[in-house]
Amino acid sequence: MKPIIVLLGPTATGKSSLAIDLAQVFQAEIISADSRQVYTEFTIGSGKVLPSEMKSIPHHMINIKHIWEEFNVSQFQTMTQEILKNLHTHEILPFLVGGTGLYIDAVIKNYQIPPQEPNKDLREQLSHYSLSELQSILQNQYPERVFNTSDWNNPIRLIRAIEVLSSPLSLNTHPIPSPYAPLYIGLSSSLDTIKNRIIKRVDARLNQGAIDEIIAIRALLKDYVSHSEEESILQSLGLGTVAICQFLDNTISFDRMRDRYIQSEYQYARRQLTWFRKNSDIHWFESEDNTLLKNTSLLIKNFLK
């Protein structure tokens, strides 16, 4: 089985910076497991590591799609497994880093995602439901499922999820043994610390031009998709993006937009923790620990022995 280091945790816990420091120690390469960082045009709002911050460490699965192009967990799984195959062939240690739990599990646990024909009747029925109604269906019928932000706020993806989960194919699918030997490293903090870091992060993004980024994305989408598709795409980028759009449309104030942005990121962090805490194999570390790099390096060295 091939070794892979999985560095995960809720948003705003410092995963990217630790991954870069560890990758330098182990001459590794990083694969992003973030459902929003795949989009070329969404940089500030997704919190991408900039080339100047990568310290010459190769990063994969960043800036691979345009904002109007469809991207899903099946594509992520296929592309990432191909990257892993190449890295292992060249005896390069891969780090899978991010907070999108479904994407990580799809790769490491080797989910078999069944091909399914569209259920047009079901899609037509569900197309008349509001976002909150679709979310309620999934919460009530499939409470064990936890969705990432881009899926949870996208009606089209929620309809597809209901379609897949309600199909007998999804119940009869048997996983194939995974070819990977993962070491899970989790970063976390108290909820108060996470919220304070989120507040600083949101303010930094707003100062860096997050609003201008959304203005540019909206202008671009008008050339490529319909109005309804534009709304779904913007919703898939997170409720922080939705709040910025509401501010741009003069329906809420700047302060109200900022509050909603912060709250949406905090709620996302809590959902991430809910997902990750189901995995008893994660070695958790406090993100504020001054010995974090030393201790995680030692854990990886022992794992690779």
* Domains of the chain, residue spans: 2-113+173-304, 115-172
Phi-psi group of 96: left, alpha or beta (phi > 0 → left; psi -120 to 50 → alpha; rest → beta): beta
Dihedral Cα 238, 31, 69, 127, nearest 10 deg: -50
| CA-closest candidate to residue 154, choices 246, 228, 221, 101 | 228
The CATH number assigned to the domain with range 2-113+173-304 reads 3.40.50.300
> What is the pLDDT confidence band of residue 89, given thresholds at 50, 70 and 90?
very high
> Comparing 36-40, 85-89, 133-137, 180-184, which segment has the lowest mean pLDDT?
133-137
Angle value at C-alpha 194, between 189 and 200, nearest 5 degrees: 140
The one-letter amino acid at 296:
T
> Comparing 10-19, 150-159, 203-212, which segment has the lowest mean pLDDT?
150-159
pLDDT tens for residues 268-293? 999 999 999 999 999 999 999 999 99
pLDDT at 39: 97
**Tokens 């700047």 found at:** 254
pLDDT higher than 70, residue 201: yes
Provide mean pLDDT across the span 198-211.
Answer: 98
- Alpha-carbon gap, residue 142 to 80, rounded angstroms: 27
Provide mean pLDDT across the span 45-53.
Answer: 95
Angle value at C-alpha 224, between 219 and 226, nearest 5 degrees: 90
Residues near 215 by Cβ (< 8 Å), separated by ≥ 6? 248
The one-letter amino acid at 18:
L
pTM here is 0.84
- Alpha-carbon gap, residue 198 to 87, rounded angstroms: 33
pLDDT higher than 60, residue 131: yes
pLDDT at 144: 53
Provide mean pLDDT across the span 164-180.
Answer: 64
Q: How far is CA 180 from the centre of its chain?
A: 21
- Alpha-carbon gap, residue 99 to 158, rounded angstroms: 19
pLDDT at 124: 77
pLDDT higher than 60, residue 108: yes
Q: Which two tokens stand for residue 121?
A: 């009747």
To 10 degrees, what angle do helices 101-108 and 73-89 make? 50
pLDDT at 172: 43
| CA-closest candidate to residue 151, choices 101, 215, 209 | 101
pLDDT at 103: 92
Provide mean pLDDT across the span 202-213.
Answer: 98
